[in-house]
Chain A
């Protein structure tokens, strides 16, 4: 079971929380920018009224239209870093698929939640993109194709992830072109995400072109990555007709080593929760001690599979509060410790 400290819980969730601001915000910024040529900052700014929002919309569109066609593709994927628009692509983000990719099904739900919001925003942005496309119909052709393969464990080959050996994982991780339903729509966009544990490696790749340029500087068609933090990898593919298309893959990185320590146990021999023990994955060294509140050492173990049965010197210990301390080393060699209070109930 994957559990988190309260701070970690919020930190991880908000790190991937990227709501799309309403367009009025940019309009206000753009107004301030167009109002001055120097670097000065407005001492105060005025929240845009409705009419200025409309005017701002026109400015935005004009900016987009003035972009040379080849650059439109560069702009378009930036709109959709997160969520595919098509139902098919949505399906590829289902937790089962992510499980195949990462072996960490628990990680999927919270990271997927905030991004749901972007679907609506994406639909809105779609209009802008198609407006661009009408002025540059050549953009409408399709290009490269990118593939994410299942992660390769970087260390400890023994901890096989459920992803390995499933041929469907590769297919299902094929980057989906997030085509909007009409074939006239245009901007070429790939949008895909994958989740790995910190320390794991992941192969991502693109195909269908003559040259590749990745955001990490690589120029091969596929790259082996092992990011420390959640990272968006972008690739620009030069096709045989020399046009460039780009796509991106978001690779979520989670710290998967973890320990779950219950708050209470009931050593009443009912076969349920009769021992106090920690549960975890990727733990290579472990030591747990249990003390009474007055400091008497009641139990000690260096085997994670051995729990405290609630006895001391052969006698049942009293119900109430006890203290535990756990020291451990995770699979990447990082030491950690945990202490807290547990309640013995009968």
Chain B
């Protein structure tokens, strides 16, 4: 079996078999990443394809210090964000009345929701909320990093995140109430 190192070496030598191996190893995870940034499956596929083309094109720059998966994931994220670039300035218009203090966070029983519920609620978020929630909660970037990536302030990133969190909680609660009539015992 081949290590990431061996796969990278094979790809750098231009061997198609290794290119396909690399793709096979990471494509499902990365497709999962891309899908979170788009409501349309077509766009997620486009981003995935473009992302992998970049991966192969830039592989000689990969310094092999961190994990290959982490490096690929970052490329997928930035590629996905690029698709939003033109519209991004419309995403982060502040609506001040909607501030949130975080004190009412709910905890969720994680067997109450299907993957489809989670994907649907995430996709239903306004685009700015969705980008920030993805980057902060799932990808694990800091507000500072998100600010740089999206060209917004740290405070905007924070407020978008809490709004996203609150909206997701409301959406999930609504699902929970609808689907679990026995819940409110």
Residues of A within 8 A of B (CB): 1-7, 9-15, 17-22, 24-26, 28-30, 32-34, 37, 39-42, 45, 47, 60, 63, 66-67, 71, 74-75, 78-79, 106-110, 113-114, 118, 213, 215, 234, 236, 246, 259-261, 263, 272, 323, 339-341
Total residue contacts A-B, CB cutoff 8 A: 166
Q: B23 near A9 (CB under 8 angstroms)?
A: no
Q: A5 near B107 (CB under 8 angstroms)?
A: yes
Q: Which of B21, B52, B108, B136 contacts A78 (CB 8 A)?
A: B21
Q: Which residues of A contact B118 (CB under 8 A)?
A: 9-10, 13-14
Q: B58 near A39 (CB under 8 angstroms)?
A: yes
- B119 CB to nearest chain A CB (Å): 8
Q: How far is the CA of A66 from the CA of B25 in the complex (A)?
A: 19
Q: How far is the CA of A6 from the CA of B162 in the complex (A)?
A: 11
Q: How far is the CA of A260 from the CA of B108 in the complex (A)?
A: 9
- B48 CB to nearest chain A CB (Å): 5
Q: How far is the CA of A78 from the CA of B27 in the complex (A)?
A: 11
Q: A33 near B56 (CB under 8 angstroms)?
A: yes
Count residues of B near A (Cβ-Cβ below 8 Å): 55
Q: A6 near B35 (CB under 8 angstroms)?
A: no
Q: A6 near B106 (CB under 8 angstroms)?
A: yes
Q: A17-B35, A19-B35, A78-B21 are in contact. List 14 more A-B contacts (CB 8 A).
A: A5-B108, A12-B110, A14-B32, A14-B138, A18-B28, A20-B31, A26-B23, A39-B59, A45-B53, A47-B46, A63-B17, A67-B17, A118-B28, A259-B107
Residues of B within 8 A of A (CB): 1-2, 14, 16-17, 19-21, 23-25, 27-29, 31-32, 35-36, 45-46, 48-50, 52-54, 56-60, 103-111, 113-116, 118, 122, 133, 136-138, 165, 168-169, 172, 185
Given A113-B115, A236-B1, A9:B20 Cβ within 8 A: no
Q: List 14 A-B contacts (CB under 8 A).
A: A2-B109, A7-B137, A7-B138, A15-B138, A17-B32, A22-B45, A29-B52, A40-B57, A42-B53, A60-B20, A108-B111, A110-B111, A113-B115, A113-B116
